[in-house]
């Protein structure tokens, strides 16, 4: 696998070293080390309150770390603005539904053009080709669609904007297993096109089969990491009974 390629390991696409961050004086990350090699898919697992979402928020510039370094392709980006990072190819699909509920499907896709550098018709073409259901509903107000359709709309951005780094936060949250499978099939396709992916999931089973590398967090620190097969058995202990 690409993960073992020496040159890629030397210049990881994303590297966090000793990152500390928090909200209003309450620290949520107590020194995180994390390496995401280019072209790989890393899964960030852990129970509630582990700091997974905060880690993604640090990488996407929504939370400024109080200490440590965040490097994208060797460039320090800690403290860079979310907008600049988005335009540089960091694509966060946030927790919940990453859509504008009062805009139509088409208008939502129009908002994807800011980072994609493509015209709205190109963005629409890509999205509707992969998710024909969105094409049928292009004039519908996005907030009135089903949860699965909303998540497809959110994920469309990853398809049209050729991101350097895709950050997926709880893609499966509140969705039926069939939909989750469909969405992760899209994610899997993306890995084959060379997109680097950092995916956060609370429920490990969804991603253990597709990830190259797994990092388990708990209470703001990294507890465990390794290949999916190595981690699988130790996982329930790390969850402290969180997932039997």
Residues at the contact surface with other proteins, assessed by CB under 8 A: 23-28, 48-49, 51, 53-54, 60-62, 81-83, 86-87, 92, 94-95, 98-103, 107, 110-115, 120, 157, 219
Eight-class DSSP state of 141 = B
Q: For residues 2 and 111, which CB has a smaller minimum distance to other proteins in the complex?
A: 111
Specify the 3-state DSSP secondary structure of 162: coil
Cα–Cα distance, 12 to 119 (Å, whole number): 31
Least separation in angstroms between residue 93's CB and other proteins is 9
The secondary structure element, H or E, covering residue 225 is strand 221-226
Q: For residues 3 and 140, which CB has a smaller minimum distance to other proteins in the complex?
A: 140
Q: Which residues contact 64 (CB under 8 A, 6 or more apart)?
A: 21, 58, 78, 79
Q: For residues 3 and 125, which CB has a smaller minimum distance to other proteins in the complex?
A: 125
Specify the 3-state DSSP secondary structure of 35: strand
Cβ atoms 128, 138 nearer than 8 A: yes
Q: For residues 170 and 212, which CB has a smaller minimum distance to other proteins in the complex?
A: 170
Q: For residues 57 and 213, which CB has a smaller minimum distance to other proteins in the complex?
A: 57
Cα–Cα distance, 48 to 199 (Å, whole number): 15
DSSP 168-217: EE-TTTT--HHHHHHHHHHHHHHHHTT-EEEEEESSTHHHHTT-SEEEEE
Q: For residues 105 and 213, which CB has a smaller minimum distance to other proteins in the complex?
A: 105
- Tokens found for residue 214: 């797994």
Ramachandran class of 61: left when φ > 0, alpha when ψ lies in -120 to 50, beta otherwise: left
Cβ atoms 101, 140 nearer than 8 A: no
Q: For residues 60 and 228, which CB has a smaller minimum distance to other proteins in the complex?
A: 60
């Amino acid at each position: 696998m690409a993960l073992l390629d020496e040159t890629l390991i030397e210049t990881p696409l994303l590297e966090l070293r000793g990152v500390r961050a928090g909200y209003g004086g309450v620290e949520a990350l107590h020194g995180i080390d994390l390496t995401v090699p280019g072209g790989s898919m890393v899964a960030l697992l852990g129970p509630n309150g582990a700091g997974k979402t905060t880690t993604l928020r640090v990488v996407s510039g929504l939370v400024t770390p109080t200490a440590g370094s965040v490097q994208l392709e060797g460039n320090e980006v800690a403290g860079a603005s979310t907008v600049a990072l988005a335009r540089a190819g960091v694509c966060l699909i946030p927790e919940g539904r990453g859509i504008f509920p009062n805009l139509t499907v088409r208008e939502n896709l129009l908002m994807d053009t800011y980072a994609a550098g493509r015209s709205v018709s190109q963005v629409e073409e890509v999205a509707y080709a992969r998710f024909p259901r969105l094409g049928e509903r292009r004039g519908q107000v996005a907030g009135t669609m089903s949860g699965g359709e909303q998540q497809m709309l959110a994920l469309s951005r990853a398809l049209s904007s050729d991101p350097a780094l895709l950050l997926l936060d709880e893609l499966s949250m509140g969705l039926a297993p069939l939909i989750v499978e469909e969405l992760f099939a899209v994610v899997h396709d993306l890995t084959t096109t060379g997109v680097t992916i950092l995916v956060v999931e609370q429920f490990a089973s969804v991603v253990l089969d597709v990830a190259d590398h797994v990092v388990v967090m708990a209470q703001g620190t990294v507890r465990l990491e390794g290949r999916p097969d190595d981690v699988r058995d130790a996982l329930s202990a790390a969850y402290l009974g969180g997932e039997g």
